[in-house]
Copies of this chain bind each other. A is one copy, B any other.
């Protein structure tokens, strides 16, 4: 292992409170670094990295500075090293067992999506209430009745849950996920759901993304995300 001496502790975690926007950009940095690595790029400067993503060089450096010192003056950042560090920060250096609830069109698409496992998110089980689906295997994942959620979450040590059920069922499903001891929820149902503070929640509303786009087209502002 590279035993560099004076360099801040290899950032095990976030120091104080990191702006949400910074964490968001971290994901962009990681994605870009992974592309660069695939192309064989070894090092990159903050300005080059920023340019590719539409951020300033100062922003890149400040963002990374929240978590430690990763750069080499005169050189830039070593892509592999930095990617590794960001993975550790985001948690994608570990495996995250995931449960999917709701095996409709969207749910099935998510089960088949390769991008998740590449970042360490692995589906352990899927759940639904439709008797047609229960007992089947989809993309290699077994579908269980929703009632078996607590049992299987615990036995498979599942930490994250994805909600892909109709809006009307989303809050009830969220409640059951929370009861089952899940730590974070990604909600695709187009409703606001509430969870206790010790559970993390991220929502994605596909129609809302299109709304942001139509607004942007109508008022012709610059690009968004």
A contact residues vs B (CB 8 Å cutoff): 13-14, 17-18, 20, 23-24, 26-28, 30-32, 35, 52-54, 89-92, 96, 98, 105-106, 108-110, 112-113, 115-116, 118-119, 121, 159-160, 183-186, 190-192, 195, 197-225
A201 to B107, CA, bound (A): 25
B113 engages A218 (CB within 8 Å): no
Complex interface: chain B residues within 8 A of A17 (CB): 221
Query: With A27-B205, A192-B52 known to touch, is A183 a contact of B217 (CB < 8 Å)?
Result: yes
Complex interface: chain B residues within 8 A of A204 (CB): 204, 206, 209, 225
Complex interface: chain B residues within 8 A of A91 (CB): 211, 214-215, 217-218
Query: With A20-B224, A89-B215, A223-B201 known to touch, is A116 a contact of B13 (CB < 8 Å)?
Result: no
- Quick one: which of A96, A109, A183, A185 has the most chain B CB within 10 A? A109
Complex interface: chain B residues within 8 A of A190 (CB): 31, 115
Complex interface: chain B residues within 8 A of A118 (CB): 207
* Chain B residue nearest in CB terms to A110: B206
Complex interface: chain B residues within 8 A of A121 (CB): 207, 210, 214
B106 engages A219 (CB within 8 Å): no
Would you mind naming 19 contact pairs between A and B with Cβ atoms under 8 Å apart? A18-B219, A23-B216, A27-B212, A52-B192, A54-B192, A89-B215, A90-B215, A96-B214, A105-B109, A105-B112, A106-B109, A116-B206, A160-B210, A183-B217, A186-B213, A198-B220, A202-B213, A204-B206, A204-B209
Shortest beta-carbon distance, A5 to chain B, in Å? 28
- Quick one: which of A30, A96, A203, A211 has the most chain B CB within 10 A? A211
Query: With A31-B190, A112-B105, A116-B207 known to touch, is A184 a contact of B200 (CB < 8 Å)?
Result: no
The 3 closest A-B pairs by CB, nearest first: A109-B109, A91-B214, A200-B216
- Quick one: which of A186, A197, A207, A220 has the most chain B CB within 10 A? A207
Contact of A13 among B109, B214, B219, B222 (CB under 8 A): B219
A216 to B200, CA, bound (A): 6
A30 to B192, CA, bound (A): 12
A51 to B16, CA, bound (A): 27
